[in-house]
Structure 1
Amino acid sequence: MTDDSSHAAGPAALGFYYQSFFALKTLVALTGDDGAVAIESADDVELKDNGQRLLFQLKHSLISSPSAITISSKGLWRTLKVWIDILPRLTLSETQFYLVTVAPIAAGSVLEALGTPEADRKPLVAALVNEAERVVAEREAAAQEERPLPHKDRVAGCQAFLNLTPDARLNLLRQARTQAGHLPIDEMESAIAQLLTLIKPDDRESVARRLIEWWDRQVVYSLCGKRPQFISRGELQEHITELIGDIEHDRLTADFETMAYPADYQPDGMLTRQISLVDGKSHDLAKAIREEWKARQQRSRWVNERPGMAAQIASYDHVLKEHWSDKQVEIVEICEALEEVEKRNKGLGLLRWAHNDAPTTIRPIVAGFEAPYYIRGSYQVLAIDREVGWHPEYLALLADDA
Structure 2
Amino acid sequence: MAGGSKFDATASMVGYLYQCRFALLKALQSTRDAPGAEISIERFDDVAFEQNGDPFELIQTKHHLAGKGSLSDASTDLWKTVRVWAERITADPATVLSSRFFLITTATAPSGSAASLLKTDCRDEATALARLEASAAMSRSETNAPALEAFAALTPALRLSLLKAMTVIDAASNVVDLRGDIEAELHHAAKTQHVPVLVERLEGWWFSQVIASLSVVGAPPIPVIAVEAQIEELRDSFQRDALPVDFADFDVPRVILDEHDGRLFVRQLRNIEVAPKRIEWAIRDYYRAFEQRSRWTRDDLLVDNELQRYERALIESWEPRFESACEECARRDEADRIAAGKLVFQWAEREADFPLRSVRQRFLTHGSFHILANRLALGWHPDFRTMEGGND
Query: Normalising by the residue count of structure 2, what TM-score does the alignment of the two structures yield?
Result: 0.76
Partner deviation per Cα, 1:223-274 (whole Å, 9 max, x = no partner): 4459973333433333433444444552122133345569986997586454
Structure 1 position 253 matched with structure 2 position 244? yes
Partner of 1:300: 294
Rounded to whole Å, the distance in 1 between the matches of 2:374 and 2:10 is 35
Q: CA deviation at 1:115?
A: 0.7
**CA root-mean-square deviation:** 4.2
Partner of 1:371: 361
Of all paired residues, the percent bearing the same amino acid is 24
Rounded to whole Å, the distance in 2 between the matches of 1:259 and 1:193 is 26
Structure 1 position 319 matched with structure 2 position 319? no
Rounded to whole Å, the distance in 2 between the matches of 1:224 and 1:7 is 25
Q: 8 Å contact 2:265–2:370 — kept in the other structure?
A: no
Partner of 1:213: 204
CA pair 339-184 structure 1, distance change in 2 beyond 3 A: same
Q: 8 Å contact 1:354–1:379 — kept in the other structure?
A: yes
Rounded to whole Å, the distance in 2 between the matches of 1:321 and 1:205 is 34
Rounded to whole Å, the distance in 2 between the matches of 1:5 and 1:167 is 45
Match runs of 1:1-400 below 5 Å: 7-8=7-8, 10-30=10-30, 31-32=32-33, 33-48=35-50, 53-63=56-66, 65-87=67-89, 88=91, 91-116=95-120, 119-132=123-136, 134-135=138-139, 137=140, 139=142, 151=143, 154-196=144-186, 198-199=188-189, 202=192, 203-224=194-215, 229-248=220-239, 250-259=241-250, 272=263, 274-275=265-266, 278=270, 287-306=281-300, 308-309=302-303, 311-324=305-318, 337-338=333-334, 343=338, 357-358=350-351, 361-366=352-357, 368-389=358-379, 393-399=383-389
CA pair 275-391 structure 1, distance change in 2 beyond 3 A: farther
CA pair 389-116 structure 1, distance change in 2 beyond 3 A: same
Q: Which amino acid in structure 2 is aligned with residue 74 of structure 1?
A: T
CA pair 166-198 structure 1, distance change in 2 beyond 3 A: same
Moved over 6 A (4+): 49-52, 261-268, 279-282, 330-333, 345-353
Contiguous gaps of at least 5 residues in structure 1: 140-150
Q: Which amino acid in structure 2 is aligned with residue 114 of structure 1?
A: L
Rounded to whole Å, the distance in 2 between the matches of 1:180 and 1:262 is 44
Partner deviation per Cα, 1:142-190 (whole Å, 9 max, x = no partner): xxxxxxxxx3xx4433333334343333332222211111112222232
Q: 8 Å contact 2:118–2:124 — kept in the other structure?
A: no
Partner deviation per Cα, 1:76-120 (whole Å, 9 max, x = no partner): 233233323433366321111111111211233222122137733
Rounded to whole Å, the distance in 1 between the matches of 2:73 and 2:13 is 27
Q: 8 Å contact 2:190–2:239 — kept in the other structure?
A: no
Query: Normalising by the residue count of structure 1, what TM-score does the alignment of the two structures yield?
Result: 0.74
Contiguous gaps of at least 5 residues in structure 2: none
Give the SS at the match of 1:256: coil
Q: 8 Å contact 1:192–1:208 — kept in the other structure?
A: yes
Q: CA deviation at 1:15?
A: 2.7
